[in-house]
Structure 1
Amino acid sequence: MQFFKRIFKWSPPRILAAGFALIILCGSVLLSLPFASSNGSFTPYIDALFTATTSTCVTGLVTVDTGSHWSVAGQVIILILIQLGGLGFMTMATLFALVLRKRILLRERLILQEALNQNSMEGIVRLIRKVITYALTIELAGAVLFAVRWSFDMPIGKAIYFGLFHAVSFFNNAGIDLFGQFGVPFISLTGYADDPLVNIVTMLLIILGGIGFIVIADVMDYRSTKRLSLHSKVVLSTTAALIVVGTLVVFIFEFSNTKTLGSLHWGGKILASFFQSVTTRTAGANTVDLASLRQATQFFMVILMFIGASPGSTGGGIKTTTFTVLAVAVLSMIRGKEDIVLFRFRLAQERINKALTITMLSLTLVIIVTMILTTTEDQAFIKILFETTSAFATVGLTLGITPELTTIGKTLIILMMFVGRLGPLTLAYALRPRQERALFRYPEGKITIG
């Protein structure tokens, strides 16, 4: 009883970290059992743990092919973990509480505020209702469109199942797919590189899942409010700019590469370039062989993955707002301006400090894990950097080394996915000891910079 009282007193970041860890552990135990595998045998626990983590953290990196290794029961467990991880376990718990007409207490509202990365608790339950409604509506629409398209390629029952699984997976930016059961493992969507419907629906699901529920709610309310918040303006403009720049870079560097875009017609080249730019923002699906991309393209994709999606979304990375705030801060410093201004709004110094802290923590983590993996894995540096960044940003793209990782490598990638889903700053808050209020301040000092 004392243990549960102690848990109840935990800070919201610590409860979030413990909640995700508990879901992963439960999922890993279930996935390791014989009923979860297609051949009815036990799955090595490290692979079950890896799969449970990549599903709950909506990453998409897999050590065993999802379509061929797991039974239908195992795939359903993965699907549930993706939904829980994408929307957040507190969001799902709130859904059940609302259905049962239970009151959402102050403690629960604080945790929801932390989970959705909100600045205040005002309207948090109303936002949760919108999150659930928008998510289920978008996933259902995607499932129907996928099912209609794939009914031409497979029996209608399987097409419906595939439509539902992939709509949930892509909207939650997990990128886990089932196409490996058709004979070629880890194939993703490479068989649909020039299919307009599959590409467009997938990209829309990824973008909607990646811009965040706050922005979706803001856009949906625009008809009545006639205005967008500063957050929504920054997210939408940055997302659009990164997608366009990413598309141009992939198109230019891979245009003549016969192993990627070179063999496609003009429409296919543009579509594939667009898709790779969108999916790099934490989605995990791909329509071309990423291992065959030129190293310049692979490195640029590492940068896009590191930036990631937007706050309050199903994606990872340092987030688009963090990137924009730092970029504008640098430009303001170069121009000699004291204030950091975005869309005629001045940003508080606290926002700049938080953006800098998140970026430095994230960069340090990626560098350290990459250095360790270069000693434990017999792989090229660019592949290890790509894998590490993909895990941290919960992207799920790989250059083909995930199944070949050693036990140490798998463990490190599992930790990276977990940290990436929670966010390094949230995890740091969860692990830090209780802070005591400082009773004094040190005198200001001067140090030469630059």
Structure 2
Amino acid sequence: MTCGKTKAKALCENVLAPYSVQTHVDYIKENELHYSLTSDASNKGTIKCFPIVLRYFHFEEGVKHALLDFYSDSNEKSEAITNQLLSKLEMSGLDVKKMSAYATDNASVNYGKHNSVYQKLKLAQKDVLAANCLAHILHNATRYAASNLDIDIENVVLKVYSHFSISASRTAQLKEFCEFVEVEECNLLRHVVTRWLSLLPSIDKILNCWRPLTSYFQSLGEEECSKMLWKCFGEDGNEVSEMYFLFLSHILKVFSDCIEALEAKSFTPLCLRAKKYVSERYDFSENSFHSKVSKLGLTTAVSYGEYSDAVQACSLKDIDTDGLYEEYGMVESILSSSEMEGCHSEERYLKLFSKAEVPLVNLRKVSAYIFSIPCSNAHTERVFSMMTSAWRNERNRLDVDSVKAELQICVNFTFECTDMYQRLLTNKKLLEAARKGQKYRK
């Protein structure tokens, strides 16, 4: 039994995992594509883990993500992270000059003006973009705006959850208050401070059992409550506090649905402050990089001049402008056809390439660049979710390499089982490596 587990582990780590990475790397290199790197850090107990995710555009399948590596390192300084990123790229054989963007959360170690990972990456690739995570921008903007409220609702939510989570007897007492006021028993949710949008469901849970919570804390009295909880649930401030909770519950729903809600005029107390935070840090003018590049999405009518200006803003040096002009003229009729209606940008480009009678070399280069740039760090966050599922308590003896192999296989292979089976059978080098227990080599 142990021997079988050992062979399965060797097969995953030495054959399938390297093969899963190589298939993506080969496509990028063969087509000379731009790619972006996304990364982040998370703890598994005392182990600090860093996934490195590639994002690129496949001309038949659309945007693709691949887990290039997954490593542990106790050193979280910008120099150590940068060295790891560049080292992993060098080992894979990918050209650092083709790295279009670097995406991660907006911590100063990643995007600081002087001694950050991004600034160090620019020394190796001066045109690399800082693909700030929109989810984190929204997270920071809402937190900054909510700090203007008279009550620190985030801390109240944390304290309420903590008060009951550490004591079964307190939970039982709250249940009795719920039954007395005929409110369905509420299971309070934990709010994670690094995930601001987790605050909304936590607030809604508290609002659902506001009456029993108020009765419970008032029954304890001011001396037995923390000052913050008494200010919120005590007799003097209870109604005002509830209004703040209701207000934030409504506004956070708007923020979580769409970033454009930051411009909503009907919610000025919170939105204007959030908008101020965002506008001070990011350029939204018509001449900004993001405004120009939005033309490349092809979701609205765009002249060749606007398209050409957007390409120049991307600093793409290997574009033949005369060839791009000819290609754009060829596809204008396809873009205006009825079958393009309702398609998002990625689908439009894929249809162009499938229907065009010529290779569209320059448009392929443009699409490969713009779709390699991520708008958030969500895919890396998904890797952490998968890590949590794979690295469960009952599997706590797994080492980092084993976890990395499992994650690479799960993330990098997206085929159906039958397709995957056929692919493996036709790859003689992979089968040979599996038989001999060797590492897969191209």
TM-score interval, smaller chain: under 0.3
Structure-2-length-normalised TM-score = 0.24
Structure-1-length-normalised TM-score = 0.24
Greater strand proportion: 2
With a CA cutoff of 8 Å and minimum separation of 6, indicate the structure with the bigger relative contact order. 2
- Bigger radius of gyration: 2
